[in-house]
Structure 1
């Protein structure tokens, strides 16, 4: 791809309403920098809308699209930029557009919630992929057989997916390196003051130490086990066994370091997971209760209301912009 007679790669940025502006900017700006630093046009891009001409990001910024997806013309690469509640995306023409592009050998990628749309179109089957950690619970419930990682980004043949945010800078570094060599990729990263280019397999989230301000290795170990066992919660006795200490010692550790109890911390993790599933999937209240380790929908509802101040159904309706139901349903 380093031959100077090589024509520019044609890139389409498919902007889905509510897309994450940070992810979009982190994906498109490296292409501009690559052109500037190379002294020639390596990449040309167009903004594609599902319909109409303007697309509004999650923060209210509106970007005017060049064309609709159906008018995009020939492209070499498409980057799907999405955010918000991708599981509710229902636009068959867009999924058909992406499938047609795949049949024509177009490289397809997604940032932030963009991989959700590729998965809905059936275009990630057999590929390694990733998605923003906030969307992982909904993604795994909706597409349980896909090869999902928790990495910053994945590049697998003609598919590339990214968790979003500034991780798109790292992914574009890798793509530019594949297209035009490591020297240009390094120059682009230097342009954006990116002194530490992360590999795709790097973790998406801060460590437990950074997130919670804890340092005790036994405490960190049990917290990690909790995060990996949401659907089938471990007992306090099992957690103490894992930590190699008595239950009384472990409870004292949680009280002193986190100002809470084992059960309260575990419940909060499970309820935060439930909140993500409520907002990002169409799973029933009962299904979400099971997915987060509650014995029944009524038990789940009681704990949810106590934690967040409203029942699960109200949470779902309010997040989708509707009016709360007139009464609490049976939450089943």
Structure 2
């Protein structure tokens, strides 16, 4: 079995340096390259810490503990797989790197969780949470990575090009010759310390801009509510009852589009012959509904994976904040017509 002395000899550092690196002593200031070299040598030699009298477990080389700050409840996450898939990506990559998710903080309705980062090596924030909330928490100096929000300039972040995805969806409908295009989406907001700040969703902004540029915009073709399949169903029913249903819809998310499909089917309106639909997400269910959804794929699991990689890189000494943009991809199926 490899020893600390062997690792120190190969890495050309002292035994005490090896010991402090392998104990994840983040107060120990050494060059990034040296810390990474020690970790790499320990992995190569398959080093395992010895059991001691206080612990019958075997300590891994990387025994980092992190917290997740998730801007929504479990119920919301279950109803919209976007954030659930991000979390699954986080869990998958944490297991690979020997990172344990030690604590999870969630908003239950509008009640802010008590953020306590003591004992954590780092934090991943999933969703739009104001950076000031984290700065007010205890031990807020730990590395933080944001997902689906820019956070602040001092933090790493992983996002996708939401505006670009919206343009891609709209361009598909316009290329097919549609002019009376409706929009269906939810309201967006940022979690603040004791309130929420409502913001105009980028998908809605892109829709309005592209329609106005072409002289096609109509106020009564926008249907805004909350999120989820139930709301998509309700908003499409509202559009049908209003009359003069648009010949195509850009829908902000797959769950909303799935609810809208059901409302159209119940009213005998055929998709895509009478109404075409394009959405954003590409959740698993989108390929199995009738008709299968044309959608802009967001690589949500990869967003979670990337966030963990950024955090591990911080543990190993990187100081420069990084902003990563994950690409999207148009997936053409039957809901918008011609393929």
- Shared fold per TM-score greater than 0.5: no
Structure in which a larger fraction of residues adopt strand: 2
TM bucket normalised to smaller? 0.3 to 0.5
Structure in which a larger fraction of residues adopt helix: 1
- TM-score w.r.t. structure 1 length? 0.35
- TM-score w.r.t. structure 2 length? 0.34
Q: Which protein shows a greater Rg?
A: 2
